[in-house]
A and B are shown apart, each in its own frame.
Chain A
Amino acid sequence: MADRGRDVEVPSTIASGEQTVWVDVSSLLRAACDDLQDGELVHGENFSLFASMSALEIMDPKMDSGIENCAYHSVEEAIENGVAPVPFSFDRTVDVQCTIDVMDHLLACEATWHKGNSLAQTVFSCIYLLRLERTSSHALLNSYCRIIRATCSAVISIVSDARTHEEEDIFTMAYGLPLKGEGDEKCLSMLNAVEETISRQLRACKAQSSKKRVSEEITCGTADTEPLQTNPNLEEGYCKALLSRIRFRKHFYHVLMCMRKPHGRGLELARKHIASCQSELACILKSSEFLASNVRGGSQNDIEEKTTASGCRPIGFDASLNSKLSAPTPPRAIKIVSWNKAIEYFEKLLNDLDIICSFSMDPLLENILRSVVQFQKRKPDLVARAHLQVLLVQDGKLYGRDLIFDVICKAAALHEITKNHETQKNEFLLPLGQLLINLFKVLCTNLAWQRRKLGKILQDWAITSVQLTIALNRELEENSNVYVDENVCMKLSKHLLIWAEEQTYWIAYRFLTLGFDLELYSPSEYCMVYWFIYCILVKLSEKAQLKMVASTDAVKRKGKKKKDISKDVLNDQKLSPAVLLLQCYICLSEGLTMMLAALRNEHNAFQTPIAFNTEEEVHTQKFRAHLAHIPNDHVSYLLYKQSTVHVRFSTLVKYNYFRDAQRIVKELRSSFSSDPDRLDELRQIEQIAEHNRVALNVICQAGASDTSLKVSFEFTQSPCFAIAVVKRS
């Protein structure tokens, strides 16, 4: 790594400025080249080892994206060598077969792209797309490629707008690709024209086959219709296969366009197009039997591998041709998903989009958060998540329609206290609005990224809560002779504070539970995680209850005389269904904490490995960075240790937390009788509680001395709340 060329003649210099000179280093470089061995480097003082580490080794196939590992130097050269002929064949049957294969492979490429690979190595591995103008004589291929291109542009645009793709940025990278071209705005009319022609051909062939040719000719106008291809026996099958593919593209493009309309105005129509897409997908799937039985040779036999319905290898694709576009990053391994997987992908995408389209556009924050979390349980891919985010937040407004200010006022029950103009004076509404918009966006990102972002914004929420507390205390000091409830400003601050704290705990809860989805917890950490979840849930339910009391209090106060007030507040201690639901989870998390603690204390199970550190460091690492700021004085490691170190099965069996959860579930059923989602949730809680209650009894009966019992935890009922499984070894 040393500088070479010590013996080389010092080059002459040319002054070029006050402190710089130009030096001719050709001779130095030549000498260095002659002297350099493999793995050696010429470097100056400002070129560090770290910088050299970022070097890519040229001609190393693992690193060099620009390496020519393809038979052709350029797209043009590939075309000259007949890789992408137009037409595919002068035999019109073969030409149709090849066209369908290209369509199918493009669908597989599109799904692979959506799954997080580069556009250049998936959809744009199609030479016909790279040089669309060449296909102008082939109306079918041309119109299909054009709508693919327009669709890709539309998808990139929505994903870029949503910015939910921080970790999936490879998705929108499209430089160097011909993504937009003249005439793309007419892509739908071009496709319609082709569809019309093929429909006519289908009608003609049906008429012919039903031997009613003479009469039909007049009514259908099919007399001069030239068939799609030359084999009359295959005409209907090919017409149908093409029509379903064309119609799918058309409706899919409509779906994207409708969903982009502001204020969710196009959602209803989008749902109709989604339904059409789904039925066309079913037709496409059905066509595979026909297509596979009429192959032209060169088939891909493995159903898990094949990227076309026929199983034939498509003509005109070469992923290595533009792999140079991904330089300077090393090449990524790309495997195009199979045709079956691609169909599955689009079925799932359409279902996800359909759910977004049927969003109630509810302005109530609680319901929005719940719906988004529910939606994420379906594990939607990037494109669906981007659509959700663009729907939720447009132009800084909820659904592009409701002011975030109003959303907060409603959520924190501010309107019950005072009029808008009074509320707007509160200095915290603007930053809280920003935090809320940010939260909406974060909740639409992939779970891994989401958890990290939640950890960060959790601090912002916590800091704002602290600032609100300080402001409220200041107001209290300044107005020491006035009750909070009698001063509008102070009351606003109080309501906002309760609400901001509630959101903070909600985010913390989401942050903690996502750790289970992402498999970030090991069984030895479950105990402390559930204990932390328990602490957060207790706080969350406190705030939720406080908020409810505060808002009902405000409503009642308006119509009542002063002396009645104190009595009402006392009567309002009944818990709301939402709070009771939280109580169920409190029981589950406390029950799991205690069961795990007892297992650790009495069975020596689920111990933290001790090599370089102790459980305390693990606790610190798990929770310090993100959760240290939240206002909760109950979450220190010492308190955790104190709460769990004495836990014994003998006490647990007397006070069974899981039985409590079951009791609350029973109470809650009637409150949620009209909400199937909530009822499902209750059933799930009931199952988790029942399994764990039984497991706990079994362990208790066996006694601590029975070492043959093996206890493990499974997540079969919920991704977050485990079920203890007891086995005798």
Chain B
Amino acid sequence: MEATEDRESDPVEFDPSEIEYVSYGGEHHLPLIMRLVDVELSEPYSIFTYRYFVYLWPHLSFLAFHRGNCVGTVVCKMGEHRNTFRGYIAMLVVIKPYRGKGIATELVTRSTRVMMESGCEEVTLEAEVTNKGALALYGRLGFIRAKRLFRYYLNGVDAFRLKLLFPRSEMSRSLLAAIDREASHLYDHCQPPVGSPDVQSI
């Protein structure tokens, strides 16, 4: 569902701690989300589409504010899909001057965490194949490119369907831990840090 269009503007200098993240709080947030998405994403959505998401899953939508201005948002849903309980990221936007500072990563991470805690087995979304920023962001969070969808968007661009599978098999995990232990005397096993939102961009 995601598709971004770049707008030229100068980046804003700010400290990441100045960004305030809030969960969807009611109808007063709706125009903020709509304005951001309408301007930044290529696909057209009606007000009823927005309401479909934020009324049914308000806890999965987040807004990012900087000094009172809404600079980013994520809109999601979750539900049964072919015998799996699946989360879906419908829209993700950070306005251009605020990109590259980890805001999008933080927004996605927050909703993904709620989905995980709510019992989702996986999270999925679509992104334009040309949207390198978004693809890199989701790649860093462990999303894989499951499918390519030919001319998916109205503008004729292909999409990738991205998926994130949450862990669940405890048994294989313990077996793998054993392999890792066995291997650890051979080399220093290095795990990348969890998240690393300081280097994200969209």
Contact = CB atoms under 8 A, between A and B. Distances in A.
B167 interface: yes
A449 B164 CA distance: 21
Nearest to A117: B156
A638 interface: yes
A609 B141 contact: yes
Interface residues of B, number: 53
A612 B112 contact: yes
Those 10 A-B pairs whose CB atoms lie nearest each other, nearest first: A62-B44, A52-B48, A53-B52, A448-B148, A617-B165, A448-B150, A518-B148, A39-B47, A167-B150, A57-B46
Contacts of A63: 44, 46
Given A60-B46, A610-B192, A641-B176, A522 B142 contact: no
Contacts of A601: 183, 186-187
Interface of B: 44, 46-49, 51-52, 55-56, 109, 112-113, 116, 122, 129, 139-142, 144-151, 154-156, 158, 160, 163-167, 169, 172-173, 175-176, 179-180, 182-183, 186-187, 190-192, 194-195
Contacts of B56: 49
A604 B154 contact: no
A713 to B, nearest CB: 15
Nearest to B184: A645
B156 A611 contact: no
B150 A168 contact: yes
A638 B142 CA distance: 19
A637 B48 contact: no
A446 interface: yes
A622 B162 CA distance: 11
A621 B144 contact: yes
A637 to B, nearest CB: 7
A618 B176 contact: no
30 contacts: A1-B51, A1-B55, A52-B52, A57-B46, A63-B44, A63-B46, A168-B150, A331-B154, A332-B155, A448-B148, A448-B149, A451-B148, A519-B148, A522-B144, A609-B139, A609-B142, A610-B142, A612-B112, A612-B141, A612-B166, A613-B166, A613-B167, A614-B176, A616-B167, A616-B169, A621-B144, A637-B172, A641-B179, A646-B183, A648-B186
Given A57-B44, A452-B147, 12 more contacts: A53-B46, A53-B49, A333-B156, A448-B150, A448-B158, A451-B147, A601-B186, A608-B142, A609-B139, A612-B116, A613-B164, A638-B176
Contact of A116 (B149, B156, B160, B165): B156
B194 A611 contact: yes
A616 to B, nearest CB: 6
B155 to A, nearest CB: 5
A487 to B, nearest CB: 43
Contact of B146 (A117, A332, A621): A621
B6 to A, nearest CB: 16
Contact of B52 (A49, A167, A333, A451): A49
A602 interface: yes
Given A39-B47, A608-B142, A520 B172 contact: no
Nearest to B139: A522
